[in-house]
Structure 1
């Protein structure tokens, strides 16, 4: 009888451990998905040239188009609506917030070090670029893990030459 109870107890522990491992692996995959989405968004934004400045021989990012493109890419890659809420069928369950979005344009001296002390992010840009920080919350599959929330950061520079 005690062997049967021990077996049941061990099965419960193994199931809990398996659920923990699956949840941890899925959390890492979710973080990668969020990081890739931010990277794609900032790269798309950094490529939005200000055509008037370009005609004058200056490389400058069009701030309005860059912001629109960054949000469009973020929404498409994370399947979000215009308010940051997940669309039906999206992997995410909670609102995705853009915590910081900054365009570092040619009016700065390069190399330029962007610092955001609030979110603990620092990056050195060699040319005009875009910085974005978003907040993601992991949609847990099991209740084994505590809720996980990330501040996903990314930066990209204007590519020319």
Structure 2
């Protein structure tokens, strides 16, 4: 009888460990997906040329179009609605919040060093570009565990022709 109880206890322990490992793998996969989405959004935003500046022969980022492009890429890649909330089919359960957004334009001197002590982030840009930091919350498999919260960081600079 005690062997049967031992087998049941060990089976429960093994299943719990297996479920915890599966939860960890889901979280890592979501982190990679989120990082790729933020990088794509930052890159798309950095490529939005200011047409008035371009007419004058200067390359600069159009702030309004850059923000729209970044939001669109985040929506498409993470399956979000216009307010950043997950839609059906998304792996996320909470809204994605843009914690930091900065367009670095020609008014800055380059190389430009962006620093954000809140997130321990620093990046150097050699040309106009954007910095994007998004707060992404990943739900855990077990509801008794707190969700994982990441501040996913991305930066990109304008790719010049030639």
TM-score, normalised on structure 2? 0.95
Q: Where does residue 57 of structure 1 map in the other structure?
A: 57
What residue number does 2:8 align with? Answer: 8
Q: Distance in 2 between matches of 1:54 and 1:94?
A: 39
Structure 1 pair 67/120, CA: closer, same or farther in 2 (3 Å)?
A: same
For residues 155 and 139 of structure 2, the distance between their equivalents in structure 1, rounded to whole angstroms, comes to: 25
TM-score (norm 1): 0.96
**Alpha-carbon RMSD:** 1.2
Provide the aligned length of Structure 1 versus Structure 2.
161
Question: Following TM superposition, by how much is the alpha carbon of 1:99 offset from its aligned partner in structure 2, in angstroms?
Answer: 0.4
2:39 paired residue number: 39
Partner of 1:93: 93
User: In structure 1, what is the Cα distance between the partners aligned to 2:16 and 2:144?
Assistant: 7
Q: Which runs of 5+ in 2 are unaligned?
A: none
**Secondary structure of 1:23's match?**
helix
Q: Following TM superposition, where does structure 1 have runs of at least 4 consecutive aligned residues deviating by more than 6 angstroms? A: none
Deviates more, 1:129-138 or 1:139-148: 139-148
What SS does the aligned partner of 2:135 have? Answer: strand
Question: Residue by residue, what CA displacement relative to the aligned partner does 1:125-145 show, whole Å, maximum 9, x if unpaired?
Answer: 111111000111112223475
User: Which residue number corresponds to residue 28 of structure 2?
Assistant: 28
| Structure 1 runs not aligned, ≥5 long | none
1:122 & 1:100 partners in 2: Cα distance? 13
